[in-house]
Structure formats: C-alpha cells, structure tokens
Structure 1
Amino acid sequence: MMDVTNIDNNSSGNVDGPSDNPILKKQKRGIWITIVSILVVVSMFMGMFLHKITSPRVMSAEELRINGAIVFESPRIIKEFSLVDHNNQEFNLANIQGRWSLVFFGFTHCPDICPTTLAKLAQVVKQLDTDIAKQTQILMVSVDPARDTPEKLAEYVTYFNPDFTGVTGEFLDIMSLTRNVNVAFQKVVLDEDYTIDHTGNLILINPKGHYHGFFKPPFELAKLKTTFQSIVTQF
C-alpha cells in the first residue's frame, strides 16, 4: 500500500498559482502598457484629424484671386478720419483697429446692390467660426450723407443685423476715406431725384487698421466665408 505521507508536498497547493506568477504579471503589464500607448496615439491622430477638418481652410493667393478675394502683399495705411456712427458717436481710425472690418460703401436709397450685399453679409457672419466671428465687424459707410443721417442708418443697417454699424459724416470726410481704400462714387441726377453710382467691392481692413484687400462682387456665400476665414487664419 502506498504511504500517503510520501506524496510530494507540491500537491498540497504550495506552488504559486498562475495569477501569482511574476512572469505572467510582467506579460500582462506589458500588454496593458501597449494597449494604453496605442489608444494615446490613436487619440492624438484623431484630435489632429478633427482639428484639420474643422479649422478654416488656408488658401493660396491664386486660389483667393480665383474666388474673388484680392489680398495686398503690403497692406496700405489708412489716414486718420472723423465720421459718426449710427448712434451719432464719433467714428475714427481707432474704431477699425483691434479686429477685422468688412466695409461696404453704399446708401439707404439703393434699390438692389446695397440691400443684397448686406443681406449676404448677414448670412456670412452667422456661418463664421465662433472665434473669427468674435473678431469681425460689419460696416456700411454711406456715400449719400445728405440723406443718410445717423437715425436713418440706424434703422437701415440694424434691419439686417443688430450688430452691423452704419457710418456717415461730412461729404469731404467720406470722400477722404474712400480715396484711402480705392472706392469711387458719384451722384447721378434723375428727373426729380438722384442716385449714387459707387464701387461694389467689399473692403477688408485688418486689426491694425490697414487696408488689407477687397472682395469683388458678385458675392457668393460659400466663397466669401471661405476666403475671409482663410485670410484671417493666415494673418
């Protein structure tokens, strides 16, 4: 008969189990480190991918031109001027510094081009990336100061967007500003009235208060938004 006392002590359960095996522990730790590392790398690439697809597209100078946006190699200095806004507050060079300005020169009696442009701008600002929208202002400078009082402009520009600003002033002061940004306008007499012929470009002024470039009409929503955001992103 076999003496049970001679059974190998290893059968009594004194051998370390698989969970206590140091080699297995090291292997498990290595696997977890590998998994975590892979997840970190994947997360980084996903973040970079999302940033790329959500960031404004940066366009070349040629692409900008094709899409109607002209950017000067050297932005042009705008001389000091003195006008008033639609709240009858002074409006001068300081008011176009510190953020981007999209400026349209028009008048409230304009039958089509002016209201169409302001309506388009109202659509554009709603679609701009939040950070770009915060640093952008829309201005309409009147080229018909005889009829466009601050009160008239207040009613007109805020109809399109409460944040739009209307600007008017003395005729010679307005003309001085238009010369700084290459905008032409002239009075055209009709039978018992008159209208104003004026440049339809949308003027772009950078945060330094310099004439940065312009957008040529007709203005298409997608093109205007994309080219403007590209210019701001590259600045």
Structure 2
Amino acid sequence: MKKSMLLACMLLISVILSACGSYQFKPELDIQVEDFTVTNQHNEQVSLADLKGKPWLAMFIFTSCTTICPPMTYNMTEIQKALKDKGLEDYQIVGFSVDPEIDHPQVLADYLNKFSPIDASKWQLFTGYQQAFIEEFAKNSFQSLVRKTVNSDQVTHMSRFYLVNADGTVVKDYNGSEDVPTETIVADMKALMQEK
C-alpha cells in the first residue's frame, strides 16, 4: 500500500513539473559549423554570419530525390506548424542541396513552393557551390555523409535534421524522414530561443 501511494505521489509530482515547463534541454553534439558563403533560393548570397543570432534547423536534400527528400521536407513543414502553434518565431530552417549542379536557385524556389510552408520567409535553401564542397562541408560541420552516386542522378545522404544554436554550433540531431520527434524538436528550439 505504501509503495503504491509513493509511486502515485511521484507520478503526480512529475506531471506537475512537466506542466510547469521544467523541460531541460541537453545538447548531445558539439560541432562548430564551418564558415561558408552560398546562394539561397532567392539568388542572394548568405554566409554563416547571416544565420547567427537565432537557432536553426538544417537538413541535406535535393530536388530530384526520389526517396527521402520529399518526406523530409514535408516533415519540416509540419515542424514549422508546430513551432507556430507554440508561438515560436525566432528561428530559421536551412536546407543544403547535395546536388548543386542541378539545384539552381529557381529550382529550389519551385521545389519549396510545392510544400506550401506556412512561412516561407524563414526558409533558406542553399546552392552555389561545387559537389566536393558540400560533401566535405557535411562531413566536417555535421558529421553527415553526402556522396554523389556514380552513373546515377541520385545522391546518397543522411535523413537527419540538425539543431544549430545561435552561435553556429550543432547541438542535436533527429530522425527527419520517419518517426520525427516533433514535440522534442519544438521543446529544444524553444529552450535555445530562451537561452539566446
């Protein structure tokens, strides 16, 4: 009887604490994003310095992808809806094209429009670099694999979403193609916004 009463009290306390917003963000990664200058879907030059000052979610995609990129991009629009539902506005969403030879700015803009994000102004889809650059950049800045497939129009890359803090450090990553932990991502983004 005493044990069950104690368990009930502990459960009640944990529910109360979670309701009070006691979520504690815990970084799982500590990778400094290398400096870069790229071109976004509006044909504007963007550097790492332009992204600093607010947290951002990053992913690696390409517009002619026949597998994971469409669900990843859709999932990111769902995360954006969840952020909006929580009243969170001070963030950015970044997509690095892993097929820059094909993904020119207008191609990226057309691709994004297909997913009808609720606030496209927060999205930056990047191109304007060589294939060798994005493969090395993904490895060094995100510990992520990007590799152009020989004799194919497809590019091998990981289906992760990366959380980058306001200083340009990757602090966490998540599954981006299925079983996306949207609530956790939103809570982590909120924590980083409050840190800033």
* Aligned CA distance change for structure 1 residues 129 and 88 (closer, same or farther; 3 Å): closer
User: Whose radius of gyration is greater, 1 or 2?
Assistant: 1
- Spell out, residue by residue over 1:120-161, the C-alpha distance to the aligned partner (whole angstroms, 9 max, x if none): 111111112567631121111101011000110011123322
Query: Secondary structure of the residue that 1:204 maps to in structure 2?
Result: strand
CA distance in 1: counterparts of 2:186 and 2:24, whole angstroms: 10
Residue number in structure 2 paired with 1:166: 125
- Spell out, residue by residue over 1:153-204, the C-alpha distance to the aligned partner (whole angstroms, 9 max, x if none): 01112332223221012124323431211121111134xx421111111111
8 A Cα contact 1:58 1:231, kept in partner: no
If the length of structure 1 is used for normalisation, what is the TM-score? Answer: 0.64
Query: Secondary structure of the residue that 1:194 maps to in structure 2?
Result: coil
Pick which of 159-168 and 79-88 moved more: 159-168
Residue number in structure 2 paired with 1:180: 141
Residue number in structure 1 paired with 2:163: 204
**1:58 is the counterpart of 2:18:** no
Query: Secondary structure of the residue that 2:50 maps to in structure 1?
Result: helix
* Aligned CA distance change for structure 1 residues 180 and 93 (closer, same or farther; 3 Å): same
User: One-letter code of the match for 2:28?
Assistant: V
User: One-letter code of the match for 1:216?
Assistant: N
Structure possessing the higher relative contact order (Cα contacts under 8 Å, 6 or more residues apart): 2
8 A Cα contact 2:71 2:177, kept in partner: no
- Which of these residues, 48, 57, 60, is aligned with residue 102 of structure 1? 57
CA distance in 1: counterparts of 2:188 and 2:94, whole angstroms: 20
Residue number in structure 1 paired with 2:71: 116
CA distance in 1: counterparts of 2:149 and 2:136, whole angstroms: 20
Query: Secondary structure of the residue that 1:71 maps to in structure 2?
Result: coil
Deviation at 1:217, TM superposition (A): 4.4
- Which of these residues, 136, 140, 145, is aligned with residue 91 of structure 2? 136
8 A Cα contact 1:124 1:224, kept in partner: yes
In structure 2, runs of 5+ residues without a counterpart are 1-14
- Spell out, residue by residue over 1:38-58, the C-alpha distance to the aligned partner (whole angstroms, 9 max, x if none): xxxxxxxxxxx9996374x61
Deviation at 1:99, TM superposition (A): 1.1
CA distance in 2: counterparts of 1:129 and 1:82, whole angstroms: 29
Residue number in structure 1 paired with 2:188: 230
8 A Cα contact 1:96 1:205, kept in partner: no
Higher helix fraction (1 or 2):
1
RMSD: 2.8
User: One-letter code of the match for 1:226?
Assistant: T
Q: Give identity over the alignment, percent.
A: 21
CA distance in 2: counterparts of 1:158 and 1:76, whole angstroms: 31
**1:71 is the counterpart of 2:36:** no
